[in-house]
Structure 1
Amino acid sequence: MSLGMNSFVALCVLFIQVPQGQTACAEVDSMTEAVAGESFLLGCVSCKRRAEVPGSAIVEWHFKPAGAEEFIQIFQYEYPFPIILHENFEGRLEWQGTMWTKDVQIGAIFIHNVTYNDTGTYRCTFHRTLYLSMNEEQVIINKEVELTVVETANPELTTVISEIMMYVMIVVLQLWMIGVLIYCYKKIYAENEAREARKAARSQNKFIDSKDPCDGVYLE
């Protein structure tokens, strides 16, 4: 899968959750087939169940190579710093999750220059803290991705990506149209308010000009 296609997949995940912290979050499963020599997006989304409660999260990624028995930690993200923790992935992992808040719900990462040694099981772990009114609640969420590295992309996978790109564009256009409508409404409302204010000022001026200057003056 090319880097451009992976970017569109990442955008799809992001737009499903736009804006971050709102009610549109949806937990989308990661793709599981990477192409050797290219980049691959390891998807991981964990929606916060209590949207009205502030929170924060630390995301960890662990990897268990095919045939191995134990996981090794390869990556950690604690706002705002991503850290690569294993030499085999040095310079090849890139954070693609939530970047603008501690309240992380997207924990995706890119693997660049995929090799056959990257085949195996990846575990994404959210260490989430919910700041309740009386205390703090600790929540741990684990998600696993079974990754297979192949020589060439599956044609069916390319079709799926094309469909995802189409839906992303639809969502983008809808959001753009909504933004334009809101902008136009605010502009028209502001112009109407200004017009009414001018009318009221002119009416007040006419009232003052038409008032008899001798009113209230009495001769004895």
Structure 2
Amino acid sequence: QLPLLLLCLWHHDPLVTQVPHCHGGCAEVDSMTEAVARESFLMGCISCKRREEVQAYTTVDWHFRATGEEEYIHSFHYDHPHPNTLHEDFNDRLEWQGTMGSKDVQIGAVFIHNVTFNDTGTYRCTFQRTLYLTLDNEYITVKKEMELTVVAEANRELLSVVSEIMMYVLIVVLQLWMIVVLIHCYNKIWAEHEARDARKALRAQELALINEPLDSKVSCGGVLLE
């Protein structure tokens, strides 16, 4: 998935409930650049409008240039509310995942399904924006490019590997700590048990001396001897 660090909410997102309006600004974050063959990949493209109070109308076009080729092919066009795939190589494989429900498009992301190794190359995302100003309309063109690499299997990121290692280390440390705590508690309970037995034995000896029969004592010169 694309790590879109947006301060504004998407009008539509496959993982987020649809929202009717966008409030606040947005952040232009680059798309991921590594796709896995036979899976789907979200190609991100964001162009934030600098003046939120101005009404605008925006269309988005995607072009593709295969590795080793010089010319781009026009693969996709979005003109609210109609997404259109324009090249046969991408038929039934491109799905609009950008701004929905508004002609003021700021997110031009598309899903490419069933990725193949032939999809490796350069993708160009173009925003054609018309700003409706009081005196006259302003026309702005924004182009962004991304290099897509297709791999057979997903490469695990370093952060994921480190997190997994730390998880196992934490599990081992917690188990060792539990063993130490159990041994400490056992020794403490055993010491208290022995101290209680010693107190019982001492009390029994004291009671035995108190209850010793009087005939066990003899008189010698008027003095009682045990």
What TM-score do you get using the length of structure 2 for normalisation? Answer: 0.63
Q: Quote how far apart the aligned CAs of 1:18 are.
A: 1.8
More moved, 18-27 vs 118-127: 18-27
**Counterpart residue identity of residue 52, structure 2:** A
Identity %: 61
Aligned to 1:117: 118
1:17 — aligned with what? 8
| Alpha-carbon contact 1:74-1:84 (below 8 Å) kept | yes
Q: Deviations over 1:33-69 (max 9, x none)?
A: 0000000000000000111111010000000000000
Answer yes or no: is the 8 Å Cα contact 1:21–1:51 preserved in 2: no
Q: Cα 1:54–1:157, aligned 2, differ >3 Å: closer, same or farther?
A: farther
More helix by share: 1
* Aligned equivalents of 1:48, 1:109: Cα separation in 2: 19
Q: Helix, strand or coil for the counterpart of 1:135?
A: coil
- Give 1:154 shift: 1.2
CA–CA distance in 1 between the matches of 2:7 and 2:153?
28
Residue in 1 that maps onto 2:32: 31
Higher relative contact order (CA 8 A, sep 6+): 1
Provide the C-alpha distance between the structure 1 equivalents of 2:22 and 2:48, rounded to a whole number of angstroms.
9
2:68 corresponding residue in structure 1: 67
Moved over 6 A (4+): none
Structure 1: runs of 5 or more not aligned: 1-5, 163-220
* Separation in structure 2 between the aligned mates of residue 157 and residue 138 of structure 1, nearest angstrom: 43
Structure 1 residue 107, shift from structure 2 partner:
0.1
* Secondary structure in 1 matching 2:4: helix
Measure the CA separation in 2 of the matches of 1:65 and 1:145.
Answer: 12
1:77 corresponds in structure 2 to 78
Q: 1:28 to 1:157 in 2, by over 3 A?
A: farther
2:129 paired residue number: 128
Larger radius of gyration: 2
Return the alpha-carbon distance in structure 1 between the equivalents of residues 5 and 61 of structure 2.
19
Per-residue CA distance 1:145-182 (angstroms, 9 max, x = gap) = 1000001111008849x9xxxxxxxxxxxxxxxxxxxx
The residue number in structure 2 matching 1:192 is: none
Asked if the contact 2:7–2:24 (Cα under 8 Å) also holds between the matched residues in 1, the reply is no
Q: Secondary structure at the match of 1:88?
A: helix
Q: Deviations over 1:87-118 (max 9, x none)?
A: 00000000000011000000000000000000
RMSD of Structure 2 on Structure 1 (CA): 2.0
How many aligned positions are there? 152
Matched ranges for 1:99-178 at <5 A: 99-156=100-157, 159=160
- SS for the counterpart of 2:46 is coil
The superposition leaves residues 9-29 of structure 1 with CA deviations (integer Å, 9 ceiling, x where unpaired) of 3xx538532265533311010
Give structure 2 stretches of 5+ with no counterpart: 11-20, 164-226
Q: Is the 8 A contact 1:63 1:72 kept in 2?
A: yes
